[in-house]
């Protein structure tokens, strides 16, 4: 991964001249720790990478550190903010909303906070979705609720209409919580705002349960997903051990990246095969998945398989690809495909098996965040508010090298983080499962 320093500059709406209300907070002997724009976080920390950059005479690329600034751009008494959640559901959405509202209301004194209903549709008058007033009372009890109190939607909307709506509502800061499609939309919204010479800050909070956002080391909801997926593995393992030639097959989230499948399999090391989008595999003998599964059953009388939803798409015809409302390819169901392939394979060989298929995906997506994710969401929401109040725009809040940082949207949007087949995570999976290559190499 190569990142240039010039790509990491954060846009601002103008000079921050107003003293932050946080200066007046009574913290006893402990002063509010403010952050300056000169405080940076190194992107590359590996010794060989840094040395390589130094030898080339290049500046070490860094992220701007997130956190409260001593001076802010917006007058809190006159500011109006909007919050919108887009795309698929994910544990932690309500935690983010609550964190944003409480930080704006109690620490900056912002009283006009609006929730946009059902994603970007909420900006378009023809849909008729009402705006929700967000107050401490309205968000006080939402941590134990799954999903999003604002609702969500997929699909593109007209940028000009969205900005028209922001202008009519006199919004100063827009907080957009969503995945890659949302971040790309946020870039376009910010560009349209800039073209119109409006003073509206656009702050993104990256949301993907798959943990696949470029330049973000961890996304909220991932920890909860691994937690629940681990329980599914425990159930599948118990089912598999309870029957002769028992097989537990679990399909987990992961359209393009197998982080959940790989991490959950390491957290609960009862898994014998992990299939992810980044690592190709074959079905047929002699080294394919089915022959390897047969060998495992002969040795141990049971097996547990974890497959990410985006794995094995090569087994389906590419001529029948469908797109969802957001323009994403609708994946074929690899879980059901493998289930049927396994049943047919052993039936043809006259070998009796007992297969249990588990797909907890939508249950996981709509659950409340676990405590670890909830704390993480709190940091993300508060730092998003600090960035917006300081007049920064077209950025997302992310975690990198143990710090919360400002990441330019364009540096991340449209790019994807994936499991490296030669990296430490996949190497650990291979060691834990002992599955080896499932590819019939020439």
Per the residue annotation, which of 95, 180, 210, 373 is the catalytic one? 210
Give CATH superfamily name and number for 222-365+421-433. Phosphofructokinase domain (3.40.50.460)
Taking a C-beta distance cutoff of 8 angstroms, is the pair 221, 368 a contact? no
Q: What average pLDDT is seen over the chain?
A: 92
Distance CA 224, CA 307 (A): 18
Q: What percent of the chain has pLDDT over 70?
A: 93
| Span 233-262, pLDDT tens digits | 999 999 999 999 999 999 999 999 999 999
Whether 210 is catalytic: yes
| Span 321-340, pLDDT tens digits | 676 655 667 899 999 999 99
In the chain, residues under CATH classification 3.40.50.450 are 5-219+367-412
pLDDT at residue 327 in the model? 60
| Span 355-379, pLDDT tens digits | 999 999 888 988 999 999 999 999 9
Torsion angle, alpha carbons of 113, 155, 149, 364, to 10: -140
pLDDT at residue 54 in the model? 66
Task: Give the pair of three-digit tokens for residue 98.
Answer: 């609550």
Taking a C-beta distance cutoff of 8 angstroms, is the pair 91, 220 a contact? yes
Is cis: bond before 286, omega within 30 of 0? yes
| Span 130-184, pLDDT tens digits | 999 999 999 999 999 999 999 999 888 999 999 999 999 999 999 999 998 999 9
Taking a C-beta distance cutoff of 8 angstroms, is the pair 370, 223 a contact? yes
Distance CA 395, CA 7 (A): 12
Q: What class has domain 5-219+367-412?
A: alpha beta
Tokens 């109190």, residue? Answer: 149
Confidence of residue 442 (pLDDT cuts 50, 70, 90): low
Q: How many residues does the chain have?
A: 442
| Span 40-72, pLDDT tens digits | 998 877 766 666 666 666 677 899 999 999 999
Beta-ladder partners of 174: 82, 202
Distance CA 411, CA 416 (A): 11
| Span 181-212, pLDDT tens digits | 999 999 999 999 999 999 999 999 999 899 99
In the chain, residues under CATH classification 3.40.50.460 are 222-365+421-433
């Amino acid at each position: 991964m190569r990142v240039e320093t010039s790509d990491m500059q954060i846009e601002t709406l103008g000079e921050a001249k107003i003293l932050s209300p946080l200066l007046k907070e009574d913290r006893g002997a402990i002063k509010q720790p403010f952050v300056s724009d000169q405080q940076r976080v190194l992107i590359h920390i590996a010794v060989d990478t840094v040395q390589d950059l130094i030898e080339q005479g290049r500046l070490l690329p860094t992220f701007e550190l997130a956190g409260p600034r001593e001076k802010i751009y917006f007058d809190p008494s006159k500011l109006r903010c909007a919050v919108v959640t887009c795309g698929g559901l994910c544990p932690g959405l309500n935690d983010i909303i609550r964190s944003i509202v409480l930080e704006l209301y109690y620490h900056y004194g912002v009283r006009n906070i609006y929730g946009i209903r059902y994603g970007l549709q909420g900006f378009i008058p023809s849909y008729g979705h009402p705006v929700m007033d967000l107050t401490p009372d309205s968000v006080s009890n939402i941590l134990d609720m799954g999903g999003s109190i604002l609702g969500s939607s997929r699909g593109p909307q007209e940028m000009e209409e969205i900005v028209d709506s922001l202008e009519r509502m006199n919004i100063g800061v827009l907080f957009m919580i969503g995945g890659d499609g949302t971040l790309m939309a946020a870039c376009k919204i910010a560009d349209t705002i800039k073209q119109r010479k409006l003073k509206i800050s656009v702050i993104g909070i990256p949301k993907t349960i798959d943990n696949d956002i470029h330049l973000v080391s961890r996304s909220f909801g991932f920890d909860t997903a691994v937690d629940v997926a681990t329980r599914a593995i425990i159930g599948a393992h118990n089912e598999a051990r309870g029957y002769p030639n028992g097989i537990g097959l679990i399909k987990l989230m992961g359209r393009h990246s197998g982080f959940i499948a790989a991490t959950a399999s390491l957290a609960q090391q009862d898994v014998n095969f992990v299939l992810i989008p980044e690592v190709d595999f074959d079905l047929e003998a002699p080294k394919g998945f089915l022959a390897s599964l047969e060998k495992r059953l002969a040795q141990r009388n049971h097996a547990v398989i974890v497959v990410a939803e985006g794995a094995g798409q090569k087994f389906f015809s590419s001529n029948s690809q469908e797109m969802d409302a957001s323009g994403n390819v609708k994946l074929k169901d690899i879980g059901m495909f493998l289930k049927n392939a396994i049943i047919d394979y052993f039936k043809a060989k006259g070998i009796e098996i007992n297969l249990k298929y588990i797909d907890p995906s939508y249950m996981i997506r709509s659950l409340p965040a676990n405590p670890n994710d909830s704390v993480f969401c709190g940091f993300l929401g508060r730092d998003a508010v600090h960035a917006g109040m300081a007049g920064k725009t077209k950025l997302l809040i992310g975690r990198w090298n143990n710090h919360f940082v400002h990441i330019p949207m364009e540096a991340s949007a449209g790019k994807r983080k994936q499991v490296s087949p030669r990296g430490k995570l996949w190497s650990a999976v291979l060691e834990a499962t002992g599955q080896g290559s499932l590819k019939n190499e020439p």
